[in-house]
Amino acid sequence: MDIPDLFKNSLKKYSPYEPGEQPDEDGWILLNTNENPYPPVPEIVEDIKDAIGNGEVLRKYPDSLALEVRKAVLNQLLRDKDTLTNRNSIFIGNGSDEIFDIIFKVFINPGDEIVVFYPTYGFYKVLANLYDAKINEIKLNDDFTVPESAFNVKGKLMFINSPNNPNGKSFQNSTILKLCEHFSGIVVVDEAYADFSDFTCLSLLKTINNLIVCRTFSKTFSVASMRIGYALADSIIIKEMNRVKLPYNTSYLAQITALLCIKYRRKIFEQNKEIISERKRLTEELNKYNGISVVPSDANFIFIKFDDKSTTLKFLWDLKDMKILVRHFSQPGLYNYIRLTIGTEEQNNKFLAAFNGIANKYL
C-alpha cells in the first residue's frame, strides 16, 4: 500500500512551523526565540512543587473548562482593562497556538480565504495551509503600518499581531476598530507581547462582535513550557470554541501555573520593567552606530535594520561564532534585519560588546 497517497491533500503543500534554533550545549546566549529571559518568580516554582503534593491530583483529569482560570483572568488579571467580564466570553487554551488552531476549526471550510499581514508571526499561514484555506497576504507599509488596501478586503479570518512580530510595533486601536468595521469576517488580534507595552485592544470587545483577542502566559509570565493562554470574544464564538476543543486541552499543572502567575502578577510585572528598560537601552546604544537603525518596539524584542544586506549576514555569522543567537528571516524585504530578543542585563552587555567588536570590522 502506498501510505503517502492516503495522507490528506493539504499535507502535500504543507510545511510545519520552524521554531528558532535551540542548541543543546551550554554557553550559548539565546536571543532568538522571544522567550522571557527571567525564570518565573521563585514563589511560582515553589507553589507548583507543592501543588503536585502527594501525586493524587495527577491521577484525576483536569477541569475541562478551566473555570478557576477563567474567573481569575477576568476578575483579577484583566480587572482594569475595561473589557468583557462574562465567564462565557473567555476561552482557555493550550497556549495561543492551540487557540489559533481552534479558531480555524470553528470558522474555516476548505477554500475559505484568510487575510494575514506581511511580515508577521508565521504560524497563521501554517494553519491556513493545513486547513486548506486560501491566503491573502497584505504587505504592511515600509513603516509597518496597515496599508489602505486592507480596509476593503473580504475573507473569513484576518490575523493581526499587536505588537507585531518581528518588528515590535503595536497597531492603534483606531486601526483595529476600522479593520473590524470593514472586514467581512472575524478579526483575530494576537496580543502575545502586549503586556510589554501600554497597548491593548481588549476594550474594543465591548462594542465589536467580530473580534477575538488572544493572549498568552508564555511571554510575560515566563512559563512558555506550561502551555496556557486565553482568548476573549463574543460568547457565541467562545461557545463554539469550547465545543470543538479537545476535552482536556489544558493540563492541571498548566491551570495551576496560570492561577499562580495571576496571584504573583505584580511581582512579575515589576520584573518585566527590567526588560522594558533594557529594550530602551539597547535601542539607544544600537542607534549610535552608523549604518544601522532600530525603531521603537513595544515588545520584548527589537528589529535592527542594516543599511546593507551583506553586512547583516556578516553580523549574524560572527555573532553565531561567538555563541550568540539572534533571528534572521531569509524572506523578501527582511534580509536587512536582525530580530533581537531582549535578554537579561548581563546577556545584553555581552551582546553589545560582541556587536561593538563586529561593528569595528564592518561598519
Ligand X SMILES: Cc1ncc(COP(=O)(O)O)c(C=O)c1O
Q: How far is the CB of 99 from ligand X (least distance, A)?
A: 8
Nearer to ligand X, 194 or 358 (CB): 194
294: β partners: 304
Q: How far is the CB of 258 from ligand X (least distance, A)?
A: 11
Cα 114–chain centre separation? 19
Assigned C-alpha cell, 27: 554557553
Nearer to ligand X, 300 or 348 (CB): 300
Q: How far is the CB of 229 from ligand X (least distance, A)?
A: 4
User: Can you tell me the distance from the alpha carbon of 34 to that of 143, in angstroms, rounded to the nearest whole number?
Assistant: 21
Nearer to ligand X, 121 or 171 (CB): 121
List CB contacts of 52: < 8 A, sequence separation 6 or more: 58, 253
Nearer to ligand X, 124 or 355 (CB): 124
Radius of gyration of the chain (CA): 21
Q: How far is the CB of 363 from ligand X (least distance, A)?
A: 29
Contact set with ligand X (CB under 6 A): 34, 95-97, 121, 161, 165, 190, 192, 216, 218, 224, 229
Q: Using an 8 Å Cβ cutoff, are 24 and 334 in contact?
A: no
Q: How far is the CB of 362 from ligand X (least distance, A)?
A: 29
Nearest-CB residue to ligand X? 95
Q: How far is the CB of 97 from ligand X (least distance, A)?
A: 4
Nearer to ligand X, 7 or 17 (CB): 17
User: Can you tell me the distance from the alpha carbon of 22 to that of 144, in angstroms, rounded to the nearest whole number?
Assistant: 28
Nearer to ligand X, 18 or 142 (CB): 18
Backbone φ, ψ for residue 99 (5° rounding): -65, -40
Torsion of CA 254, 260, 263, 269, to 10 degrees: -80
CA atoms within 13 A on the CB side of 293: 5
Assigned C-alpha cell, 327: 533571528
Nearer to ligand X, 32 or 311 (CB): 32
User: Can you tell me the distance from the alpha carbon of 242 to that of 69, in angstroms, rounded to the nearest whole number?
Assistant: 15
For residue 90, give the 3-state DSSP assignment: strand
Per DSSP, 340 falls in state: E
Q: How far is the CB of 216 from ligand X (least distance, A)?
A: 3
Q: Using an 8 Å Cβ cutoff, are 210 and 186 in contact?
A: yes
Nearer to ligand X, 40 or 95 (CB): 95
Q: How far is the CB of 4 from ligand X (least distance, A)?
A: 29
